[in-house]
Amino acid sequence: MVIVMQPPIQQIIERLTEFISVWIPKLASAIVILLIGWAAGRAFGKAVSYILDKIGVDDAIRGTTVGKAIEEKTKVSMVRIFDIIARWFVYLLAIMAASDILGIQVLSSFLQRVVAYLPNLAAGMIIIIGGFIAGDFLGDLIIKISEEKKLEWASMFGNLFKIMVYFIVFLIGLRQMMINVTLLEDIVRYTVIGVAVGSAIGIGAALGLGLKDVVREYAEKKIMPKIK
């Protein structure tokens, strides 16, 4: 029979004291860092939203067809989205620092990857937003110039140009966000090839028929009288 000796009370108190003396300062430091990070994150998010609002980002986005539709459906402005991203960037940095102090390595490693990804997310959104604004501006410009020149299908060509720019910058933005867009790129590639081939066949057929009529008219006017 094995008799398990309980540790003396003095030993228990020493271990408890050692634990408290080690962990209480770490826990207090982690809490202080989290509070500072929370305050700094709110301040940074407000600063970002203030700057973007002064620049007129929301107004520019509302002027685009896609931006207006997105805001009406989600009820969230782009300035607010960037405010949230900026806040959480600082929040996560604070949480990562606190987890390092507490020795939670798994959480620290995960947060490092998340924090490293956030700039890519923000950059991708900036590309998409900027592309949408540019595409809408250029598409409206094409429509205006075409209408002034009395060109038919002005609205259709301008809107098609907008859609093309939207889709291209959307793909570029997703790639910047490190999202695999290979399938979408293949769809676009084959669609463009199909449209190009179809257009070439249509134009070729139209030209062929037109040239056929031209040759026939030329023969009737120039050649047939000489034969007669």
Whether the predicted pLDDT of 211 surpasses 60: no
User: Considering only CA atoms, which of 104, 55, 97 is closest in space to residue 78?
Assistant: 55
pLDDT tens string 185-200: 667 666 666 655 655 5
pLDDT on residue 39: 94
Q: Output the pLDDT for position 41.
A: 92
Determine if the pTM surpasses 0.75: no
Cα separation values, 125 from 24, 84, 85, 180, 200, Å: 42, 13, 11, 16, 36
Question: What's the token pair of residue 174?
Answer: 């997703």
Under the banding of pLDDT at 50, 70 and 90, the label for residue 217 is low
Q: What is the pLDDT of residue 101?
A: 85
pLDDT at 189 (0 to 100): 67
Distance CA 55, CA 220 (A): 68
pLDDT score for 207? 47
pLDDT band at 40, cuts 50/70/90?
very high
Q: Where are the domains of the chain?
A: 9-179, 182-228
Q: Sign of the CA dihedral 167, 60, 152, 210?
A: negative
How far is it, in rounded angstroms, from Cα 146 to Cα 158?
A: 9
Cα gap 171→184, rounded to integer Å? 8
Q: Which amino acid is at 206?
A: A
At 121, list the tokens. Answer: 């997310």
Residues 6+ apart with CB under 8 A from 65: 136, 162
30: pLDDT strictly greater than 70? yes
